[in-house]
C-alpha cells in the first residue's frame, strides 16, 4: 500500500603533498596550503585547523564506484550482447583490482531501463535507440559478475528525470519517445522547465501517480534481481528555481494547506518514505536484505540560514532542491546516505572537513550508514593537489561514523590518462 499522506505539520616530518603540507602537530598532522598557511576547517566560517592522520581502513569499509550511463558518460552504447559483456567485465575487473568493493550502476538514467522491464522501455543510452535491447538480461548478468568478484551491486535510479537540456518543445520530445515510456503515455504528469536557453522535463513530484509508478519500478527490480541496494542520486526538484510551473498541482494536491516550499519538501519525502516501505516489503516477503540509499547534494543547510546547519555557505538541499535529507536520516527513511562532498579542504564556503564532520554528527546513533561521496573528477582543478583525495580518505577514517565512501565516477578513476592523484589514492585505499 502506498502511504501518501504520512507528512504532518507538526592529518612526523613536514612534507609537501601536491599543494597541501603536512606539518608536526601534537594532535596529528596539520594540513597547510602551498603558502604554508594552515587550512581552516570551515573556510571562512570556522578558523580551526584541520588535522589528518594516515589511518587504515576498518573492517567492512564500503568502497563504491558510480558507473554513469546517462549521456554514456561512463558506459558507451553497444551493438551486441557480447560487447556489453566484454565492456562490463573489464570494468568490474578494474574496480575489484583497485580495492573497491561495490558498484553503483545507473540502471535508470532517463525514465528508462538498463534491464528488461514490464514498465519502462530500454534506455536509448544502451544501444542508441530507445526500446531496443540486447536479447539477454543485462542486469542479471551485471549482478552475477559483480558478486563473482565480491563486489556489491547497487541499482542506481534517477526517479524524476525525463530529459535535460533539450531545445524542442515538450510535446515534440515526448512524441519521439517509445510508446512504453511513462512520460509519453502521461504528458500531464511531466513538468516543463525552461531556463531561457534549454528545457528540462521531469515527473511532477506532487502527483500521486508519479510516486506509485516509481515505487512499482523499484519493486520490479528489488523483487526480480539479487541486488544489494537501490540507490537514488541528487536530482529531485531541479537545481534552478522552477517558479510557478507546478502551481496547478500545488492548488489541487495540498490537503494540509502548506506553503509551497514545505509542500515540495513533503512531496520528495513522500517518495522516499514510500520507496523505503516498498523495499522493506520485498525484503520481508523474499527474505532479502536490499538496502535503500540516497546520494544528495553535500549541503543540507547552511548554519546561517537554518538551525542545525553546517558551517557552509553554498546551495542547500533543504531550500533549493526541497529535499530534507537530514530528516530522512533521523527518521531512518534510508539505510545509508552518500552526501556528495565534492569540495576540497581549502574551499572557502563548502570545506570538506566541515561537511564530513557535520554529516558524521548527523548520522550518529541513527543506525543509518554514512558513506562520503568523493570527487576524483575534480583532481587537477584549482586547489586540488595530488594528495587531496588521500587526505580526504584518511579524514573519513578518523570519524567512526563514516563507514566508507563512493567515487564519482568510473572514467575519472580508470580512464586512459587518470590524474596522478588517482594512483596515490588507490595506494591509500588498499592500506
Q: Is 270 helix (H, G, I), strand (E, B) or coil?
A: helix
Chain-centre distance for alpha carbon 148: 25
Residue-wise pLDDT tens digits, 20-63: 434 333 345 899 987 889 999 999 999 999 999 999 999 999 99
Distance CA(299)–CA(310), nearest Å, equals 7
Per-residue pLDDT tens digits of the chain, which is 431 residues long: 344 434 433 332 233 333 343 433 334 589 998 788 999 999 999 999 999 999 999 999 999 999 999 999 999 999 999 999 999 999 999 999 999 999 999 999 999 999 999 999 999 999 999 999 999 999 999 999 999 999 999 999 999 999 999 999 999 999 999 999 999 999 999 999 999 999 999 999 999 999 999 999 999 999 999 999 999 999 999 999 999 999 999 999 999 999 999 999 999 999 999 999 999 999 999 898 999 999 999 999 999 999 999 999 999 999 999 999 999 999 999 999 999 999 999 999 999 999 999 999 999 999 999 999 999 999 999 999 999 999 999 999 999 999 999 999 999 999 998 899 999 999 999 88
List of residues 6+ apart from 97 with CB closer than 8 A: none
Residue-wise pLDDT tens digits, 333-375: 999 999 999 999 999 999 999 999 999 999 999 999 999 999 9
What local confidence, expressed as pLDDT, does residue 28 receive? Answer: 58
Domain 61-429 has CATH 3.20.20.80: yes
Under 8 Å between Cβ of 215 and 275: yes
Under 8 Å between Cβ of 127 and 78: yes
Burial of 77 (0-12, 13-18, 19+ CB in 10 A): middle
What local confidence, expressed as pLDDT, does residue 395 receive? Answer: 97
Distance CA(33)–CA(52), nearest Å, equals 14
In angstroms, the Cα distances linking 188 to 104, 110, 117, 249, 373 are 32, 17, 23, 10, 35
Q: Is 333 helix (H, G, I), strand (E, B) or coil?
A: coil
Under 8 Å between Cβ of 49 and 424: no
What local confidence, expressed as pLDDT, does residue 417 receive? Answer: 87
Residue-wise pLDDT tens digits, 122-138: 999 999 999 999 999 99
Distance CA(405)–CA(397), nearest Å, equals 10
Q: Is 378 helix (H, G, I), strand (E, B) or coil?
A: helix
- Number of helices (H) and strands (E) in the chain: give both, helices first: 13, 15
How open is the CA angle 140-143-145, to the nearest 5 degrees? 105
Domain boundaries, the chain: 61-429
In angstroms, the Cα distances linking 406 to 125, 154, 172, 413 are 23, 12, 38, 12
Categorise residue 53: left if φ over 0, alpha if ψ from -120 to 50, beta otherwise.
Answer: beta
CB atoms closer than 10 angstroms to residue 212: 13
| Portion of the chain with pLDDT greater than 70, in percent | 94
Q: Give per-residue burial for 334-351: e unless 16+ CB within 10 Å, then b.
A: bbbbbbbbbbbbbbebbb
Question: Cis peptide before 409, with omega less than 30 degrees from 0?
Answer: yes
Partners of 64 in beta bridges: 102, 406
CB atoms closer than 10 angstroms to residue 235: 18
Which residue, 129, 7, 68, 102, is CA-closest to 411? 68
What local confidence, expressed as pLDDT, does residue 17 receive? Answer: 37
Distance CA(140)–CA(144), nearest Å, equals 6
DSSP class of 377: G
Which cell goes with 404?
566508507
Amino acid at each position: 500500500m502506498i502511504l501518501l499522506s504520512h507528512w504532518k505539520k507538526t592529518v612526523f616530518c613536514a612534507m609537501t603533498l601536491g599543494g597541501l603540507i603536512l606539518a608536526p602537530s601534537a594532535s596529528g598532522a596539520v594540513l597547510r596550503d602551498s603558502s604554508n598557511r594552515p587550512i581552516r576547517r570551515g573556510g571562512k566560517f570556522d578558523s580551526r585547523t584541520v588535522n589528518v592522520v594516515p589511518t587504515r581502513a576498518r573492517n567492512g569499509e564500503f568502497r563504491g564506484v558510480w558507473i554513469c550511463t546517462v549521456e554514456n558518460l561512463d558506459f558507451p552504447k553497444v551493438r551486441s550482447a557480447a560487447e556489453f559483456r566484454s565492456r562490463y567485465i573489464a570494468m568490474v575487473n578494474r574496480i575489484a583490482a583497485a580495492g573497491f568493493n561495490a558498484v553503483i550502476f545507473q540502471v535508470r538514467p532517463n525514465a528508462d531501463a538498463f534491464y528488461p522491464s514490464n514498465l519502462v522501455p530500454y534506455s536509448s543510452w544502451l544501444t542508441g535507440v530507445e526500446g531496443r535491447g540486447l536479447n539477454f538480461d543485462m542486469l542479471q548478468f551485471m549482478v552475477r559478475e559483480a558478486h563473482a568478484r565480491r563486489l556489491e551491486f547497487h541499482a542506481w535510479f534517477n526517479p524524476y528525470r525525463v530529459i535535460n537540456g533539450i531545445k524542442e518543445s515538450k510535446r515534440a520530445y515526448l512524441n519521439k519517445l517509445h510508446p512504453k515510456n511513462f512520460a509519453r503515455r502521461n504528458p500531464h504528469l511531466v513538468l516543463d522547465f525552461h531556463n531561457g536557453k534549454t528545457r528540462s522535463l521531469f515527473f511532477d513530484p506532487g502527483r500521486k501517480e508519479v510516486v506509485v509508478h516509481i515505487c512499482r519500478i523499484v519493486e520490479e527490480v528489488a523483487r526480480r534481481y539479487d541486488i544489494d541496494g537501490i540507490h537514488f542520486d541528487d536530482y529531485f526538484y531541479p537545481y534552478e528555481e522552477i517558479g510557478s510551473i507546478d502551481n496547478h498541482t500545488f492548488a489541487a494536491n495540498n490537503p494540509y494547506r502548506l506553503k509551497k516550499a514545505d509542500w515540495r519538501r513533503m512531496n520528495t519525502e513522500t517518495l522516499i518514505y514510500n520507496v523505503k516501505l516498498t523495499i522493506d516489503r520485498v525484503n520481508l516477503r523474499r527474505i532479502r536484505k536490499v538496502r535503500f540509499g540516497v546520494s544528495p547534494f553535500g549541503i543540507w543547510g547552511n548554519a546561517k540560514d537554518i538551525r542545525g546547519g553546517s558551517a557552509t555557505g553554498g546551495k542547500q538541499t533543504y531550500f533549493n532542491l526541497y529535499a530534507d535529507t537530514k530528516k530522512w536520516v533521523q527518521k531512518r527513511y534510508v539505510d545509508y546516505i552518500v552526501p556528495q562532498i565534492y569540495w576540497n579542504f581549502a574551499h572557502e564556503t563548502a570545506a570538506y572537513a566541515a561537511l564530513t564532520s557535520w554529516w558524521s554528527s548527523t548520522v550518529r546513533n541513527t543506525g543509518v550508514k554514512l558513506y562520503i561521496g568523493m570527487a576524483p573528477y575534480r583532481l587537477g582543478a584549482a586547489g586540488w593537489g595530488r594528495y587531496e583525495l588521500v587526505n580526504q580518505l584518511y579524514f573519513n577514517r578518523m570519524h567512526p561514523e563514516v563507514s566508507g565512501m563512493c567515487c564519482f565516477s568510473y572514467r575519472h578513476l580508470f580512464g586512459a590518462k587518470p590524474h596522478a592523484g588517482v594512483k596515490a589514492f588507490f595506494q591509500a585505499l588498499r592500506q
